Amino acid sequence: MTFMTGVSAFPITPASADGKVDTAALRTLLGRLLAAKVDSIGLLGSTGSYPYLTREERRRAIEVAVDATGGTTPLLVGVGALRTDDAVRLAQDAKAAGATAGLLAPVSYTPLNDDEVFEHFAAVARASQLPLCIYDNPGTTHFTFGPALVGRISHLAGVVAVKSPAPDAGAVATHLAELRCAVPAGFSVGFSVDLNAVEALLAGGDAWYSVAAGLFPQICMQIVQAVRDKDATEARRLNARLQPLWELFREFSSLRVVYAAADLLDICRAVPPRPILPLAEPARKKVATTIRNLGLS
């Protein structure tokens, strides 16, 4: 499977206060991504608030996305859950609905060890037959994948990619090299953490799993095109232009910022799932000023 390259755009999942997905608003968000011709869509990622949605609502969101994309854009779907059997059912749902691959995080309450995470992936891959991307997101799961564990899981049948948090520029080349040495040839090594992702791409990363692209896909596609053109100067220039947005992500979290931006731009009226609160008015004004000054829409 070779689709895990370029920009994978991760939109929010608009929903009511009681967790019912707003399918019309989701279609609007997906339409923006399709118009920008993103390389893939990451549905129900952390930005998509997957842990806050029921199995039924997650399935409904996938069905909407599959219908919206019409099979033209690969769809990566979050299938993480506390229990392995629940993750299996979510992955089976995603496959049945037409998702291209699943994004599996080792969600936990009791901290997990490497053997437990390996068995979790083995069970979901075997039972669902859905291609899987390893989701390394220690900020939410409190579990960090070492290169050895990524390598071990990467040799499971059906595991095709890793989504790894990009470290600072000075460490990204070493981190990428360690992952490349651990995984099979052709295995996709991609990166999240928007503010560090450009250097990861320039170092040779395959994919950028992007929160910003879920709302502002055009400029993210421009950055990736510059990388593809081997124009590091242009890629860094465009990334530097987005520095005020990255600062907002640092200050308030990317999730809260993109919810506020979607509302301010009149794209959709969703609010984050409780107990997460919308940004207070002073922060909203800061977001509004930033997106206006950057010319983002």
Q: What is the CATH number of the domain that holds 47?
A: 3.20.20.70
Summarize pLDDT for 219-249 with one digit per residue, the tens.
Answer: 999 999 999 999 999 999 999 999 999 999 9
Q: Would 1 be classed as within a structural domain?
A: no
Q: Would 277 be classed as within a structural domain?
A: no
Mean pLDDT, residues 2-22 taken together? 93
Residue 211 neighbours by CB under 8 Å, 6+ apart: 10, 47, 192, 194, 249, 254, 255, 258
Q: Evaluate if residue 2 carries a pLDDT over 90.
A: no
**Of the residues 20, 95, 109, 163, which is catalytic?**
163
Mean pLDDT, residues 88-109 taken together? 98
Q: Would 246 be classed as within a structural domain?
A: no
Summarize pLDDT for 170-202 with one digit per residue, the tens.
Answer: 999 999 999 999 999 999 999 999 999 999 999
Average pLDDT, the chain: 97
CB 146 within 8 A of CB 154: no
Q: Would 223 be classed as within a structural domain?
A: no
Q: Would 48 be classed as within a structural domain?
A: yes
Q: Evaluate if residue 280 carries a pLDDT over 60.
A: yes
Backbone angles phi, psi at 188, to 5 degrees: -80, 125
47 is in an annotated binding site: yes
Q: Would 91 be classed as within a structural domain?
A: yes
The pLDDT value given to residue 129: 97
Summarize pLDDT for 141-175 with one digit per residue, the tens.
Answer: 999 999 999 999 999 999 999 999 999 999 999 99
Q: How confident is the model at residue 297 (pLDDT cuts 50, 70, 90)?
A: confident
Spatial distance between the Cα atoms of 165 and 200, rounded to a whole number of angstroms? 10
CB 228 within 8 A of CB 17: no
Domains: count for the chain:
1
C-alpha dihedral sign at 29, 187, 92, 275 = negative
CB 178 within 8 A of CB 164: no
Question: Structure tokens of 112?
Answer: 């997990």
Residue 163 is among the residues annotated as catalytic for this protein: yes
Q: Which amino acid is at 161?
A: A
Q: Would 230 be classed as within a structural domain?
A: no
Residue 52 is among the residues annotated as catalytic for this protein: no
The model's pTM: 0.96
The percent of residues above 70 in pLDDT, for the chain, comes to: 99
Q: Would 284 be classed as within a structural domain?
A: no
Q: How confident is the model at residue 71 (pLDDT cuts 50, 70, 90)?
A: confident
Domain that holds residue 38: 6-217
**Of the residues 20, 52, 95, 135, which is catalytic?**
135
Q: How confident is the model at residue 107 (pLDDT cuts 50, 70, 90)?
A: very high
What is each CA distance from 105 to 10, 38, 60, 224, 271, in whole angstroms?
A: 15, 23, 20, 25, 24
